Amino acid sequence: MSKKILITGAGTGIGRDAAFALAARGHQVWATTFDAAQAEALQRDVTAQALPIQVFKLDITSEADRALAVPLALDVLINNAGVGESGALAEVPMDRVRHAFEVNVFATLALTQTVLRGMVARERGTVLLVSSIAGRIPVPFLMPYGMTKFALSAAGAGLRAEMDRLHKNIHIALIEPGAIHTGFNQAMTARKYDWMDEHSYFWPLRERLKAEEQRSFDFLEARDTRSIVAQIVKAAQARRPRLRYVAPRIQGWLVRLARILGV
């Protein structure tokens, strides 16, 4: 059955590929981006591939932009928009942490509340929250981002329990990608070097940190988005989605093992 689906943060990476995959399966898809320039670039790709996708700018931190989702009468909302931030918690500038929470948690919840009003009125709908494996286990120097994903994962589990008491046909699920090569992880880990200087505790270790990060990318990152896009499609199409969808699967196993071992 075709569904009306809106996905945020669809200009690149996982969001873009998920929008294309859902449209290819016959769903009516609205692919939204943070700004107009991204929307124009995405529209060119959509037109080139002749996909039935409508593209527009939706900055989730803007109340006016969030309101654009209301008249669409969505069956599925995919909260994929987010920002990355890195750095040691002992010294990361607090304005960067606040901004990460503003986008990844507060604005995501605000859009969810906006869309849920219609879903509750229609007594059906699915909301997917794109969290992260980084929201399951602490990762040094990625906690400004990881904390937001811990919060989002907790919010998703709690919201699911609340909606279950309200109406059995309104579903909440978490999408938890691991390390996937889209450029997002590289840009996020590099952000701390924008503000680190000789006064940083970790300035003398910066070259070692960069080498460790590169080794981690080489070892862990999946080469493409296919595994996580398949999970997003599965969750969006499910009659009753389960709570968590994790991919790549091997990274999910590694996280569970690390938690068991207390690493």
Predicted local distance difference test score (pLDDT) of residue 92: 98
Predicted local distance difference test score (pLDDT) of residue 247: 87
Rounded CA gap, 53 and 138, in Å? 37
201 is catalytic: no
pTM: 0.94
Rounded CA gap, 233 and 97, in Å? 31
pLDDT tens, the chain, 263 aa long: 899 999 999 999 999 999 999 999 999 999 999 999 999 999 999 999 999 999 999 999 999 999 999 999 999 999 999 999 999 999 999 999 999 999 999 999 999 999 999 999 999 999 999 999 888 888 999 999 999 999 999 999 999 999 999 988 999 999 999 888 888 989 999 999 999 999 999 999 999 999 999 988 877 767 789 999 999 999 999 999 999 999 876 555 565 555 555 55
> Please, what are the domains in the chain?
4-261 (3.40.50.720)
**Among 145, 193, 201, 245, the one annotated catalytic:** 145
Predicted local distance difference test score (pLDDT) of residue 250: 58
**SS (HEC) of the chain:** CCCEEEECCCCCHHHHHHHHHHHHCCCEEEEEECCHHHHHHHHHHHHHHCCCEEEEECCCCCHHHHHHHHHHCCCEEEECCCCCCCCCCCCCCHHHHHHHHHHHHHHHHHHHHHHHHHHHHHCCEEEEEECCHHHCCCCCCCHHHHHHHHHHHHHHHHHHHHHHHHCCCEEEEEEEECCECCCHHHHHHHHHHHHCCCCCCCHHHHHHHHHHHHHHHHHHCECCCHHHHHHHHHHHHCCCCCCEEEECHHHHHHHHHHHHHCC
Predicted local distance difference test score (pLDDT) of residue 224: 85
Predicted local distance difference test score (pLDDT) of residue 171: 98
